[in-house]
Amino acid sequence: MASGAESPRQKMINLMYLVFIAMLALNMSKEVLTTFGNIENDLTKSSKNLKNLNNEALAQIRGNARTDSIIWKEPNITVNKISALANDLVLYIDSDIKQPIIMKVDKNDRNENGSVEDSIPDYEIMDNSVLYDELLFKDSDTPSAVGDSLIMFIDNFRVGALDAIDNSKIGANDEVVKRNWDERKQNIRLQIIEKFSTDSVKITKKKKNWLKYNYYQFPEIASTTKLTLLQENTHTMIASVISNVNEIILGEDLNKLTPIVKGASAFYENDKLSGGIVLGKYDQNFIAQGVEINGREYNPNEVMENGEVILEKLGINVGRAGAKKLTGTITFRRLINGKYETFPIAIDHEYFVNPPLAIISNTDMNIVYASIPNTLKISIPGVSNDNIQILNPKSIRKGKLSGEYTMEGEVGIKGKVRIKVKDKVSGIVSPDVIFDVVPLPKPIAGFSGKGSSQSRQQIASGLVKGSFNNERLDKGLSLKVASFQVRIGLRNLGVVRNTGGRFNDRVKSEILKARRGEVISITNIRFNSQKIENGTKMLPPQNDVVLTVR
């Protein structure tokens, strides 16, 4: 969430958004969206659990302040000020942003109290960006009132929390407590500034406002997950303040330390494991005597910083797609009553490895056709459209709309074209997305009305039509009738042009004179389309139209 250089945690989060697949031409299954929805659901549960633990710890501090105000009054004031600001931010995200979106997308499946009536999860239809774009933005560069309020609540938390820390009187009656607090609060300040900055984000040489960088034109499930991560960061920050305050006053109790694995929920295939294992102590001298992860031992001095195991330093490849386990032990050794005792802290965490898939869809057709323009929508969730680079093929050029491209004149290699996309900022290159390249089929000529036997009046007022017998191809190319030739029996009535498929007055008059049983032949039909050589190329059909006067 921070501006400027991204933390390893944020880089991991961004990678998670690369795995959403287009719903249009590729017809992505609901199971894939469900997988990522489950990730968001797990984060929500984790955030709620952390909130409950924080509430219990806050209640304990309030109780301590009542029974021992000399020691606990000031810590209680500081922690509760920060907690109140955090609750305001979390509540605003839930009530004014996430809940309206949930109620909109699931109005037929969810009761007003939020309970689910059936087993269809919300995230199966959360592939579009429209709801968040309309809620958070007036236009692409201007936040809406709700978007401005979100930024305001984040800023209020950051500024208010920093003020509470800077003006805290913790340790006013105890020099040792005050010295320890002064040392630790600098790290707490840096975390708050890093995690809750709303400054503009620099992308290559350009700057993008924080709200647009994080939430504009992202799939709905991606924005929902980012908001949940923002809430989790808030709860984690409160937990860190509480933990530091308790340790300063109560001292260290290794038996009560619980490892919290952060930033390690989802990865791409063959990524390096990233994130961290937090033990609630942000202290550069808090180093374990042993670290064992997934059966391998590591030197704590090489993999720990400020009381945290940095997972990137383990060099673990997450491997193939699927659910994976992170297990092990962090071991501390302390001198107790003249003897060294060992305190093992167990690690048990599950994360998910997603297959690396890019989003490329053809808005007109399921496949691409040779020698005509094919409209493609190309995007990488979590990556701005400005930072997408098309590496292959060279026949793709940018369209008029954001994220839209046109591929024209492409014949492919052995009937296939491979599209390769790159994120210019991270350098990540998506695997090839392969489309079949096929020749444009000949259209099928038809006539309005039912059947080939019609009355003179029906034929005279009828319409010559063309179709590829393919709904998306018909919609994409919008065939027009350029010309056709009419014959009644053996009489040639000449060529009809530029009438949109209707007969001109002279031909209509002759048709109305035709005898019952006479055959009317419509031949040499030619179609065109503005998408094929600007309408100059004539397309002959597979067939003629033959009608009988009834």
pLDDT tens for residues 454-486?
A: 999 999 999 999 999 888 778 878 999 999 999
In the predicted model, is pLDDT for residue 432 greater than 90? no
Model pLDDT, residue 4: 40
**Do 512 and 542 reside in the same domain of the chain?**
yes
536 against 129, higher pLDDT: 536
Same domain, 53 and 90: yes
Return the pLDDT at 463.
Answer: 95
Q: Is the pLDDT of residue 2 over 70?
A: no
Cβ–Cβ under 8 Å, residues 388 and 424: yes
Residue 29's pLDDT band (cuts 50, 70, 90) = very low
Q: Are residues 345 and 421 in the same domain?
A: no
**How many angstroms separate the CA atoms of 156 and 146, rounded?**
15
**Which pTM value belongs to this model?**
0.47
* Cα angle value 439/443/449 (rounded, 5°): 160
- The pLDDT tens digits of the residues spanning 275-303 come to 777 775 555 556 778 889 889 999 988 98
Q: Give the Cα-Cα-Cα angle 171, 176, 178 (nearest 5 degrees).
A: 30
Asked, for residue 130, whether it belongs to a domain, the answer is yes
Convert the pLDDT of each residue in 502-513 to its tens digit: 999 999 999 999
CA dihedral (170, 175, 181, 183) positive or negative: positive
- Residues 196, 96, single domain; the answer is yes
Q: What is the pLDDT of residue 436?
A: 86
CA atoms within 13 A on the CB side of 73: 7
* Structure confidence at residue 159 (pLDDT): 96
More reliable by pLDDT, 199 or 410 = 199
Considering its fold, how many domains does the chain have in total? 4
Among the three residues 193, 222, 251, which one is the final residue of a domain in this structure? 251
- pLDDT tens readout for residues 86-116: 999 999 999 999 888 765 555 445 455 555 4
| Residues 156, 74 within the same domain | yes
pLDDT, mean of residues 486-498:
94
Per the CB < 8 A criterion, the answer to whether 491 and 498 are in contact is no
Least Cα distance to 482 among 542, 533, 529 occurs for 529
CA 249 to chain centre: 43
Q: Domain with 311 in it: what CATH number?
A: 2.60.40
User: Looking at the domain assignment, is residue 135 inside a domain?
Assistant: yes
| Rg (alpha carbons) of the chain, rounded to whole number | 33
Rounded Cα–Cα distance for residues 180 and 67 (Å) = 23
Query: Is pLDDT above 70 for 393?
Result: yes
Locate all alpha helices (DSSP H) within 111-262, ordered by sequence: 130-136, 145-166, 175-195, 210-215, 220-250
β 404-407/388-392 pair status: unpaired
Distance between terminal CA atoms of the chain? 74
Question: Does residue 453 share a domain with residue 545?
Answer: yes
Which of 332, 357, 382 is the C-terminal boundary of a domain? 357
What value does the mean pLDDT take over residues 162-185? 87
DSSP H/E element including 404: strand 404-407
Report pLDDT digits (tens) over 314-370: 888 887 777 888 899 988 776 454 456 788 888 888 887 765 555 666 654 557 888
My answer on whether 398 and 465 are in the same domain is no
What range defines the domain where residue 461 resides?
A: 444-549
196 and 258 both lie in a single domain? no
pLDDT of 310 strictly over 50: yes
Q: Is residue 17 part of a domain?
A: no
Domain finish residue from 225, 251, 277: 251
Whole-number Å distance between alpha carbons of 427 and 405: 21
* Residue with more model confidence, 85 or 258: 85
How much helix, strand and coil, in percent to the nearest 5, is found in the chain? 40, 25, 35
Give the Cα separation of 79 and 407 in Å (integer). 58
Which string of DSSP letters, residue by residue, matches 377-395? EEE-TTS-GGGEEEEE-TT
Cross-strand bridge partners of residue 519: 548
